[in-house]
Structure 1
Amino acid sequence: MKIALLGYGKMGKMIEQIAISRGHEIVAKVDESTQDFDIKTADVAIDFSIPSVAFKNISLCLENNVPVISGTTGWLDNYDKAVELCNKNNGAFIYASNFSLGVNVFFQLNEYLAEMMKNLSQYEVAIEEIHHTQKLDAPSGTAITLAEGIINNSNKEAWKLEEAASNEIPITALREPEVPGTHTISYKSEVDTIDIKHTAHNREGFALGAVVASEWIIGKTGVFSMKDVLNLG
């Protein structure tokens, strides 16, 4: 499989290592200094760029019939446009706020727990996320996905960074050196607290998931998620 890497920072380099170890070829390494490349040489593109160029990258792929996997967060104001473009061109597209296989199991666990807690009004839910100091967006895309999972399975109506109203989920975003990503969901009452937590030890899990998604999407058309890739229902 020939892969174009759209974004060649730490994640791009990690994806490159894992892709090569699984027998794939990297045909393009694109960053802000890249002047010219042919996306059509790729069987699939993996976008881990920056928010300001992610939609441009995704559009380029879909307009040239190249399946695209995007893990860039902070660009989702244009997500519906990407879906429309994918459908218009009969393309293939996966966006995930987090490609880690473990995190995607955690997403499912979060939704299941939210459903169980929905009628226990004595508990208040909160989300905390911790990432490295180079992360550009806050809260993380993963935290937002977790919040949306709770909203879709509870009486909460929205999320808010820091202070939140009673119908909102408060998200605390912390930035600390060398933290790949830690997410905690807490349900707290006067008598006890229930926590579920995912801690990434390194970036390798995110990169592996992106490569697995790339392998899965070949030959398919449509807009998919990691639930489809992992058959999580």
Structure 2
Amino acid sequence: MKIFLVGYGKMGKTIEKIAISRGHEIAGTLESQVENVGKLVKDSGANIAIEFTQPEGAVKNILSLMEVNIPTVCGTTGWLGKWDEVVSSCEKNNGAFFYASNYSLGVNLFFRLNRGLARLMKDYPEYKVGLKEIHHTEKKDAPSGTGITLAEGIQKERPEFTKLINDKCDNPGVLGIESFRMTNVPGTHSIHYTSPIDEIEIKHTAFSREGFALGAVVAAEWLLDKKGVRGMDDLMGSKEGEKF
């Protein structure tokens, strides 16, 4: 397939390397925000776009790509306040859109582990739950999209958590995510269940960007002949309510 990379930073360059190694062609790359991204991608001859940019420009890029019916895989986080607008555009244009807060196979297995543990721990209120995430200093959004997805997984199993904040918190009904930014950290996420006498922790640590990049390319391969809004549960065959 012919891929256009909307966003050509460290992640874009890693995606390029993996896509070429899997026999795909890079039809073009875009390093900075431009008007009418969709036309640029369409004119390049690409049949799919992979979008990894910044939260402030992602929605404009996605809508432009939907308007010219370019299937799009998006890994930019921090824009989900406009999710309904993107879904509406995809449906109106009979398009194909794939979003994940994290494309790593290991992280998506971790999402399932997180929900299973949350389901198990709901009968033990003496354990207080908290989340921590660490990323590189270039990452703009905090908490990370992966951190939010983990928190939402807990909230699905523990509906008493009605509020999410970006800080440590022990208040009833509030789930806190502590965010840290350090040099050259691809991504570390941990969930802690702490009681007065002990702590249970699960953690995922990424060693490089390659796992994320490979997942994005595999998602593009899978999406190419499909329609609608899709995600990693579709790709990996997960079912809502799957038991731990």
> Are 2:37 and 1:31 equivalent residues in the alignment?
no
Instruction: Indicate the residue corresponding to 2:10 in structure 1.
Output: 10
Instruction: Indicate the residue corresponding to 1:215 in structure 2.
Output: 221
Instruction: Name the SS for the 1:223 alignment partner.
Output: strand
Find 1:133's aligned residue among 114, 134, 137: 137
- C-alpha spacing 1:33/1:159, structure 2 compared with 1 (3 Å): closer
Find 1:107's aligned residue among 108, 111, 121: 111
Instruction: Indicate the residue corresponding to 1:93 in structure 2.
Output: 97
Number of residue pairs matched?
233
Gaps of 5+ in 2: 240-244
Instruction: Name the SS for the 2:207 alignment partner.
Output: coil
Distance in 2 between residues matched to 1:94 and 1:158, nearest whole Å = 27
Instruction: Name the SS for the 2:114 alignment partner.
Output: helix
Instruction: Indicate the residue corresponding to 2:161 in structure 1.
Output: 156
Gaps of 5+ in 1: none
Find 2:78's aligned residue among 70, 74, 79: 74
1:158 Cα offset (Å): 2.1
Distance in 2 between residues matched to 1:188 and 1:60, nearest whole Å = 46
Distance in 2 between residues matched to 1:131 and 1:14, nearest whole Å = 17
Find 1:181's aligned residue among 170, 187, 200: 187
- C-alpha spacing 1:143/1:33, structure 2 compared with 1 (3 Å): closer
Find 1:120's aligned residue among 124, 127, 130: 124
Q: Which runs of 4+ in 1 moved over 3 A?
A: 33-37
CA contact (8 A) 1:39 1:64 kept: no
Distance in 2 between residues matched to 1:194 and 1:171, nearest whole Å = 16
Instruction: Indicate the residue corresponding to 1:58 in structure 2.
Output: 62
Instruction: Indicate the residue corresponding to 2:177 in structure 1.
Output: 171
CA contact (8 A) 2:33 2:57 kept: no
The alignment's C-alpha RMSD in Å is: 1.3
Letter in 2 for 1:161: N
CA contact (8 A) 1:160 1:170 kept: yes
Alpha-carbon deviations, 1:179-218, whole Å to 9, x = none? 0000000011112211110000000000000000000001
CA contact (8 A) 2:130 2:168 kept: no
Distance in 1 between residues matched to 2:101 and 2:162, nearest whole Å = 20
Alpha-carbon deviations, 1:69-115, whole Å to 9, x = none? 10001111111100111111111111111111110111111111111
Instruction: Indicate the residue corresponding to 1:227 in structure 2.
Output: 233
CA contact (8 A) 1:127 1:170 kept: yes
Q: TM-score, normalised by structure 1?
A: 0.96
Letter in 2 for 1:68: T
1:33 Cα offset (Å): 6.7
Identity %: 53
Distance in 2 between residues matched to 1:92 and 1:185, nearest whole Å = 33
Q: TM-score, normalised by structure 2?
A: 0.92
Instruction: Indicate the residue corresponding to 2:21 in structure 1.
Output: 21
Distance in 2 between residues matched to 1:88 and 1:81, nearest whole Å = 10
Find 2:51's aligned residue among 47, 53, 75: 47
Instruction: Indicate the residue corresponding to 1:142 in structure 2.
Output: 146
Instruction: Indicate the residue corresponding to 2:242 in structure 1.
Output: none
